[in-house]
Structure 1
Amino acid sequence: MTPRLSVLIPAHNEAGYIGPCLHALFASDPLPGNATGEVLVIANACNDTTVAEARAVAVPSGWICVVISRAEGGKIGALQAADARAKGRVRVYLDADVTVSPPLMAQICVVLDSEQPLYASGSPQLSYAKSVISRLYGRFWTTLPFVREGVPGFGIFAMNAAGRTRWGAWPDIIADDIYARLSFAPAERIRLEAAYSWPLVEGFRNLVRVRRRQNAGVTEIAARFPELLKNEDVTRPGASGILTRALRDPAGFLTYAAVTLVVKSQLFRDRDNNRWTRGR
């Protein structure tokens, strides 16, 4: 039976994360019409137990799971390999450290059941961070309009078959999630009620490194694909909005502001050479 839904999970050294990710996915509510879902885990250049952990997860009825181990590294290569094998009419691109809530997959199938190009994501919630700095930063960051009201797509995004025809092969870029989101107009992007849990990196320095990587990804897209910028709809809170949030959460604001200032400085740049920065 051809699956209705394909979940594509690129994974590089995700031991300890891929198991919970798959367990949460397989605990999803039944898909509409009891349709079949397929999961493609593309392990790229892993030198830990990611592949073994993924293969050890029991696959329930209604799901197919294939774990592919590639010697080649790189998320874009993993995405290409997964797309080449995916059969579902709806495609979900899921980070291996994200856990989805039970209703999310079914909601995605319902809203993307259209001949018109559409994109969807859930409502993000931050996983508990061990670092106080990360908790304070995340507490403030999650109050920003883009996170609370937009369709950010970080950690998980989905599109229907008509939407996936917007481009062919994935370009070799830093920010695949931003590229995918901006390939759809705001009216084509749908935020779902169902939640998913997404982890922030731990500690001040790692927050700086990842923010710099995100900024580099946005700059790269603006330079290489300027036509996509017409689809940007990020709402800025403005001075009054920032002040209101700062008064409500002074510690969170100071942490967020400190990371932002250091991102724009020359500090910690000696190690910011990788296109992919995890910071765990």
Structure 2
Amino acid sequence: MTAPPQRRISILIPAHNEADYIGDCLTALYASEILGHEIEVLVLANGCTDETVARTREIPAPEGWRLRILERAEGGKLAALSEGDHAATGEILVYLDADVQVETDLLAQIAEALGKGPALYASGTPCVVPAQSAVTRAYARAWVRLPFVRIGTPGFGIFAMTRAGRARWQDWPAIISDDTFARLNFRPEERVRLPGRYHWPMVEGFRNLTRVRRRQDRGVEEIKELFPQLLQNDDRRPSSAHSLARVALTRPLAATVYVAVALAVKTNLFASNDVWTRGR
């Protein structure tokens, strides 16, 4: 049997004041079971005023892995991603949020999947980290059952692509939803959802859920306004309203909380001019 070709993989982790999260992110990443590839990790520290960089250096990388820290005085995820793309040397580019933890098999699955074509996109299977807030737990129980999460390859938290795929645009545009923009630059048949799991945290509490949901909605609308040509690459999904109605039959509290958050967004409750809020 012919061994799969060795590839260089660049993992880009944008980080703005992520000292509380970067250690767990890197520890999980470094536990990946992957052989036969060159791997570099680029932590894109942008506008950090905490111990993100120091914490990054404390976590020992596996033998053969290369860690690089790119520090920018200015904050801004998209500018950091553009700088990271120029610095990265990999044939495969993996974009990982600093508060996400991957399971051990996901990185190897990404490398295998993206080795099958010139312009491909991949992500794993998301799992929401159990929340402390009862409101967030209820919201999450409804959210994970919606078509956006269950169907296709949503890519929030982590997504990956080949260099040929990344060449479809130049620098990252100054937008809210980088994951939506990246995903829609690939046709559905070019996107691969992998069984490998990753753990993605949801913000705590009704107020924070509302603020982050508003930001997410703005991000989607921004894509529609600025890049309408990309919408042809979206997945065909069942109606979210229909799916939510089905959730209400078995999990009425979850559906109620989800609808309440949506109504709070629509009525501008907890409105803020800060479209980048993470709600932490």
Q: Normalization by structure 2: what TM-score?
A: 0.95
Could you tell me how far apart the structure 2 residues matched to 1:238 and 1:157 are? 23
Name 2:3's counterpart in structure 1: none
Could you tell me how far apart the structure 2 residues matched to 1:71 and 1:234 are? 41
Q: How does 1:156-195 map to 2 (within 5 A)?
A: 156-195=158-197
Name 1:125's counterpart in structure 2: 127
Query: Which secondary structure does the structure 2 equivalent of 1:191 belong to?
Result: strand
Unaligned runs of 5+ in 2: 1-5
Unaligned runs of 5+ in 1: none
Shift of 1:233: 1.2
Structure 1 runs of 4+ aligned residues shifted over 4 Å read none
Name 2:30's counterpart in structure 1: 26
Tell me, yes or no, if the aligned pair for 2:147 and 2:240 is still in contact at 8 Å.
no
Could you tell me how far apart the structure 1 residues matched to 2:206 and 2:183 are? 27
The aligned amino acid for 1:5 is I
Counterpart selection for 1:254 from 253, 256, 261 = 256
Tell me, yes or no, if the aligned pair for 2:146 and 2:240 is still in contact at 8 Å.
no
Could you tell me how far apart the structure 2 residues matched to 1:267 and 1:144 are? 23
Q: Does 1:274 align with 2:274?
A: yes
Shift of 1:235: 1.6
Tell me, yes or no, if the aligned pair for 2:151 and 2:237 is still in contact at 8 Å.
no
Could you tell me how far apart the structure 1 residues matched to 2:77 and 2:13 are? 10
Shift of 1:144: 1.2
Q: How does 1:97-246 map to 2 (within 5 A)?
A: 97-233=99-235, 235-237=237-239, 240-246=242-248
Name 1:5's counterpart in structure 2: 9
Shift of 1:130: 1.1
Shift in alpha-carbon separation, 1:174–1:111, aligned structure 2, 3 A:
same
Shift of 1:240: 4.6
Name 2:56's counterpart in structure 1: 54
Cα deviation per residue 1:126-148 (whole Å; 9 max; x = unaligned)? Answer: 01211111111011100112212
Could you tell me how far apart the structure 1 residues matched to 2:213 and 2:224 are? 17
Shift of 1:68: 2.1
How many residue pairs align between the two structures? Answer: 275
Could you tell me how far apart the structure 1 residues matched to 2:95 and 2:119 are? 16
The aligned amino acid for 2:248 is A
Shift of 1:218: 1.0
Tell me, yes or no, if the aligned pair for 1:114 and 1:160 is still in contact at 8 Å.
no
Cα deviation per residue 1:227-256 (whole Å; 9 max; x = unaligned)? Answer: 001111152345553322101101101100
Tell me, yes or no, if the aligned pair for 1:121 and 1:151 is still in contact at 8 Å.
yes
Query: Which secondary structure does the structure 2 equivalent of 1:192 belong to?
Result: strand
Cα deviation per residue 1:139-166 (whole Å; 9 max; x = unaligned)? Answer: 1100112212321100000001111111
Could you tell me how far apart the structure 1 residues matched to 2:236 and 2:79 are? 29
Shift of 1:221: 1.0
Tell me, yes or no, if the aligned pair for 1:19 and 1:54 is still in contact at 8 Å.
yes
Cα deviation per residue 1:41-72 (whole Å; 9 max; x = unaligned)? Answer: 01111111111000111011131111222111
Shift of 1:3: 6.1
Query: What RMSD in Å do the two structures reach over aligned CA positions?
Result: 1.4
Shift in alpha-carbon separation, 1:250–1:56, aligned structure 2, 3 A:
same
Q: Normalization by structure 1: what TM-score?
A: 0.95
Query: Which secondary structure does the structure 2 equivalent of 1:112 belong to?
Result: helix
